[in-house]
Structures are given as structure tokens and as C-alpha cells.
Amino acid sequence: MPISIEDLKAKLDLTIDDQKRTNALIVQGKDEEALEYLLQKLQIRRLAEHPSDQKLKISSIHKLLADVYKQKRNFEAAFFHLEKHLAFSDENSVTRQSSQVMLKMEEAQKEMRKYQSENEKLRARIKENRHIEEKTLRKLKKAIETVEVGVTIIDTNNKIIFTNPAEAKMHGFLVEEVIGKPSSIFGRPRARRKMKKSEFKRPNTWLRETINVRKDGSMFPVQLISSAVTDFDGTPIGMVTVCEDITKRKNAEKQLRKKNKELAHMLSYLEKLNNEKNELMGIVSHDLKNPLTSILGIVDLLKTYNIDDFSPKEIEQYLAEIEIHSERMVDLVTNLLDVNRLESGKMQFNLTCFDLNQIVNDLINQYQPRAQIKSIQFNYPYSLSEKIWAYGDHKATIQVLDNLISNAIKFSPSHKKIHIRLDKKNGTVRFQVKDEGQGLTKQDMDGLFVKFSRLSATPTGNEHSTGLGLSIARKLVDGMNCRIWAESKGKNKGATFYVEFPRLNCE
């Protein structure tokens, strides 16, 4: 279909003034081919878009069209002429445009050279920093590989991605044996577990002590210091753990605890000795000084006056007091010597068979006068002819039973009874003495056989007590491999003391 001039105008955006000249052209059938070809060329080859060139475009196209229709020139030659004409027809416009383009190009080149220079400097800095980082990493790796503590890095799947020789050697492995293995390879079987995801998010270091296991199954204590490893945005990518074998430290701590315990025991023992010293000084000052003062008083009295001035009864009374005070001092000295021998291990025990009934009868006869003073009766059902054998040290047994019978008299009120029995049972013979006195409290029971221990009960006849008798009895009984104990139902309900001897083959 023939193309119209209006279509050509629309395609070329012609101005109103140019339409008059364009309308003068008559498009005939033979010219249709030339105009269609021109439109195709104009669509492919775009001319400059600068506003000052628009009239140039239109006039050149009109001139080209005039050449085509009037001079019948070749269309390809005419179009080449049009392009050439457009390129040089408006020199000022092209020059101005070229200058602006060149200026922009120069500015762009300056900016490009600036950026290139900065890029080169940046590359140099990056290269230098990378070199420093690589050098630092080599030093760090060398340091980690030579330290005596273990260093291990795991990923978030609990796989070991790095370990130093110290860590591997500590657990009896080679480095290559543990790389890629679970971190639990170092833990006890029952304690092996994966690290929780939350543990990779700990903000600070994590210090703990635990027990690790070597390749051969042996266990040893370690101290672990762990810290999460994150990437640039803070996402956890692993964990680094420093492991130290603290076997020597634990052994040292154990020895220190042992020494501290021994020191505390020694300190307690020294405090005990100091208390005993104070008790001893009190006893010596009281139980030696007072009797001596009484004896010296009597002696001074007898020296002041003529002996004929005193009646025989008065002299007998003074001598009895001297005897009592002297016996008290002898008892104290004897007890102190016994304590010293027992505690120093110098006392020797001669274990043999003896008649326990004979010893008890002798002691009852010995204490009968003292019991009669307080109107106390002994209840003992065995005659002297009956043999009741026991195995132990004869002298030590007399000393122990002497103390128990003496105490029963001391702590019994007047007009009471003391019950003594000997019972055979399961290869043993048991001595039992029971009084009807003030009894024992729980506190008394706790310190009953302790040296210098004082009871809540007091002797009912102002008798003397050193606080050493029961402690000596306990040591003597222990030395004979026998047993001694006491029972009481409470205050004012009396007390019963027992000593159990083996019989062996004495009968």
C-alpha cells in the first residue's frame, strides 16, 4: 500500500513550517519504493538528538527528497550524501557538542584515574594487611602447636576441625586421629554428648572442671576454657576450647587438704593439751596445795604447843587428817603417773587368767568401812569360794574395779544400796556395779571417759575427785582388749557401769 506524506511527517516529527514544503511533493507510484526504503533507513540509523540539529535534519531530508525526484539520482548515493552532510553541515553545533562531550570525558577520565589510584592504594594495603595476617596466623599457629596446654576447635556439628599436638598427646592420640571426630571422643562414655546450640551462643568464656578419658581408657581431671567462634555478623560457626591437665594441681590440693586436716587435728590436740595443762594446774594447785596446807597447819599447831597439852583422842584425830590428806596427794600423783605411762605407751600389760570373784570380794571388804560411814550396803550374791575366771591384766583389773566401786560410794546418798554382779555370757564375764545416786545426763555420758571431765553430779559426802579415774579406767580396759561403758535412765535415777572381760580357756 502507498505511504503518504502524512505518515512520513509523523515518523520524522516535522515542524509546522516544514509541512508546507513537504506537502508540495507528490508521491507517485514509482516513488513509493524510494520513500519506504528511506523510512527503513531512518528507523535503523538514528540521527543526532541535539535540539539545534532538528531543522538541519528536516531541511536535509527535503533536499534529499528533491534530489531523488528532480535529479533522479541514485537513492543510496543520496542517502550517503545526507549522512555526510548531516555530519559536517552544522560545524558550530557539532563542535560545541563535541567539546562538551570531550570535557565530560576528561572529567570522567580524571575521576577514573583517581579511582584507579585509590584502588591501587587499597590493593596495596589489602596485600600488606593480608601479608601481616598470614604472618600473624603462622606465628599463632606455631605458638598454638608448641604450647603445653591443649587447644581444640570444633564446628557447630561438634566435629573437631583443629587440635594441637599437646591436646592429642594429652589424650594419647595423634593429631590426624582426632580431626573430623566428634568432640566427645575426649569425654567419659556416660558423659559424652553433643554441645547444645545454645552453648555456641555464650557471650563470654566458659570455665569448668571435668574428667576426660585417654585413648587407653584412663581418666584424668582437666580444666576447660571455651569460647564461641562467630563470623562477621555474629553467627556462631564453632567453638575453641583450651584444655589443661590439672592432675598435679588436684594432687597438690588433695595433699593440702590432708595437711590442713592434719594441722587442724594437731591444733585441736594442742588446744586439748593446753586445756589439760590448765586443768592439771588447777588440780595440782587444789589437790596438792590444800592437803599440804592442812598438814602444815597441823604440824605448826603441834610445834606451837607442848605435845602433853593434847589428849590422845585429839592427837589421833590430827594423825587421821594427816593420813587422809597424804593419801589424797598420793592418789593424785599415782593417777598422773598412770596417765603419763598410758599415753606414752610405756605401760606393759601382763594378760593371764585370774579369779574375778576374788578381786571383787577383796574390794568390797576394803571399801566396807567407807560405805558404813554413809550407811551404804553392798548387794553382792557370790561367796568367796565360787571361782569366776576372766582373762586380762590382774593389777589393771583391780585398779579399774577399785575406781568404779569407789565412785559408786562417792555418788550414792546415805542409806542406799550398791548392787554388784558378775554374769557369764557368750564366752565373756561381765562385771556390773549399779548405784542409786544422782544418775548421768546426756552431757555427762558424752564426756564420761574424757580426761579432766567434770560431771553434773557431785560426791554426796564431800569426797575428793580428780576427774582422772574414769579416763584411766578406759585406757586400762582398752589396753586389755576389754570393754567398758555406762548406762543411766537420767537425773536422780542412778547409774550402772559395766566392764566385760573375755574368758577364753581359763576354766
How do residues 161-208 score in pLDDT, each as one tens digit?
888 888 999 999 999 999 999 888 887 655 445 556 556 566 667 888
Alpha carbon distance 256, 190 (integer Å): 30
Evaluate whether residue 465 is within a structural domain: yes
pLDDT-wise least confident of 12-16, 100-104, 442-446, 479-483: 12-16
Determine the pLDDT at residue 189: 58
Exposed e or buried b per residue across 80-114, where buried means at least 16 C-beta atoms within 10 angstroms of its C-beta: ebbeeebeeebeeebeeeeeeeeeeeeeeeeeeee
Q: Within 13 Å of residue 69, how many CA atoms lie on the same side as its CB?
A: 17
What's the average model confidence in pLDDT over 372-396? Answer: 89
Higher-pLDDT residue of 462, 228: 228
> Residue 40 pLDDT > 80, yes or no?
no
Residues 6+ apart with CB under 8 A from 471: 339, 449, 450, 451, 452, 453
Higher-pLDDT residue of 23, 194: 194
In the chain, the percentage of residues whose pLDDT exceeds 70 is 72
Cell of 237: 560457626
Q: Are residues 467 and 496 in the same domain?
A: yes
Q: Are residues 295 and 430 in the same domain?
A: no
CA 10, distance to chain mean position in Å, is 93
Any idea what the CATH number is for the domain that residue 405 is in? 3.30.565.10
Cell of 198: 545454645
Higher-pLDDT residue of 13, 497: 497
pLDDT-wise least confident of 36-40, 155-159, 485-489: 36-40
Residue 404: how many CB atoms within 10 A of its CB?
A: 22
Of the pLDDT bands very low, low, confident and very high (cuts 50, 70, 90), residue 72 is very low
Determine the pLDDT at residue 275: 77
Residues 6+ apart with CB under 8 A from 85: 60, 63
Determine the pLDDT at residue 199: 61
Q: Are residues 366 and 470 in the same domain?
A: yes
Of 394, 399, 388, 393, give the one whose Cα is nearest residue 429.
Answer: 388
Return mean pLDDT, the chain: 76
Q: Are residues 222 and 265 in the same domain?
A: no
Q: Are residues 223 and 273 in the same domain?
A: no
Q: Are residues 298 and 380 in the same domain?
A: no
Q: Are residues 239 and 257 in the same domain?
A: no
- Domain ends where: 210, 228, 245? 245
Higher-pLDDT residue of 270, 88: 270
> Residue 18 pLDDT > 50, yes or no?
no
Determine the pLDDT at residue 21: 38
Alpha carbon distance 381, 358 (integer Å): 13
Determine the pLDDT at residue 86: 47
Evaluate whether residue 116 is within a structural domain: no
Of the pLDDT bands very low, low, confident and very high (cuts 50, 70, 90), residue 440 is confident
Determine the pLDDT at residue 297: 84
Residues 6+ apart with CB under 8 A from 100: none
Domain that holds residue 240: 147-245
Determine the pLDDT at residue 24: 38
Higher-pLDDT residue of 327, 58: 327
Residue 378: how many CB atoms within 10 A of its CB?
A: 19
Q: Are residues 256 and 332 in the same domain?
A: yes
pLDDT tens readout for residues 112-128? 878 788 888 888 888 88
Determine the pLDDT at residue 222: 93
Q: Are residues 460 and 397 in the same domain?
A: yes
Determine the pLDDT at residue 248: 92
- Domain ends where: 211, 245, 279? 245
Evaluate whether residue 131 is within a structural domain: no
What's the average model confidence in pLDDT over 288-301? Answer: 79
Of 491, 493, 416, give the one whose Cα is nearest residue 461.
Answer: 416
Q: Are residues 162 and 29 in the same domain?
A: no
Contact 473, 320 (CB under 8 A): no
Q: Are residues 410 and 311 in the same domain?
A: no
Alpha carbon distance 377, 364 (integer Å): 10
Alpha carbon distance 192, 258 (integer Å): 32
Evaluate whether residue 233 is within a structural domain: yes
Evaluate whether residue 115 is within a structural domain: no
What's the average model confidence in pLDDT over 428-434? Answer: 94
- Domain ends where: 304, 321, 339? 339
Alpha carbon distance 457, 409 (integer Å): 13
Higher-pLDDT residue of 288, 359: 359
Evaluate whether residue 208 is within a structural domain: yes
Contact 440, 488 (CB under 8 A): yes
Cell of 309: 597439852
Q: Are residues 370 and 490 in the same domain?
A: yes
User: Per-residue DSSP letters for 380-445?
Assistant: ----TT---EEEEEHHHHHHHHHHHHHHHHHTSPTT-EEEEEEEEETTEEEEEEE--SS---HHHH
Higher-pLDDT residue of 124, 232: 124
> Residue 79 pLDDT > 60, yes or no?
no
> Residue 47 pLDDT > 50, yes or no?
no
Determine the pLDDT at residue 264: 92
Cα→Cα distances 354→330, 347, 388, Å? 27, 20, 8
Any idea what the CATH number is for the domain that residue 160 is in? 3.30.450.20
Determine the pLDDT at residue 196: 60
Evaluate whether residue 468 is within a structural domain: yes
Domain count, the chain: 4
DSSP 505: T
What's the average model confidence in pLDDT over 478-499? Answer: 90
Any idea what the CATH number is for the domain that residue 260 is in? 1.10.287.130
Evaluate whether residue 177 is within a structural domain: yes
